[in-house]
Amino acid sequence: MHPLAKQFGVVVRRRREASGVSQEALAATAGLHRTYISMLERGVRMPSILVARQVAEALGTTMGALLAEVDDEPPPKRKK
């Protein structure tokens, strides 16, 4: 898994939990499947720019703001 996908997932999960919504609710609002939201949050899938926009809008933010937060997220530590 790519470190950037992991960073995106950390930010999405943090924002989703701060909003008090479930993966199911976020998925429904974003027009995505719950398992896809789960894969995004775990960093297993790298979102397309369209999906990043859908997730951002579902979280009540802009894609620019969401990606700026991703950019500020420290990269995950490598496992030895």
**Secondary structure of the chain as H, E, C letters:** CCHHHHHHHHHHHHHHHHHCCCHHHHHHHHCCCHHHHHHHHHCCCCCCHHHHHHHHHHCCCCHHHHHHHHHHCCCCCCCC
Please give the pLDDT value at position 80: 63
Decide if domain 3-71 falls under CATH 1.10.260.40. Answer: yes
Q: How many angstroms separate the CA atoms of 60 and 3, rounded?
A: 25
pTM score, two decimals?
Answer: 0.91
Domain ranges of the chain: 3-71
Low-confidence ranges of the chain (pLDDT < 50): none
Residue 64 has which token pair?
A: 């620019």
d(CA 24, CA 53) in angstroms, rounded, equals 18
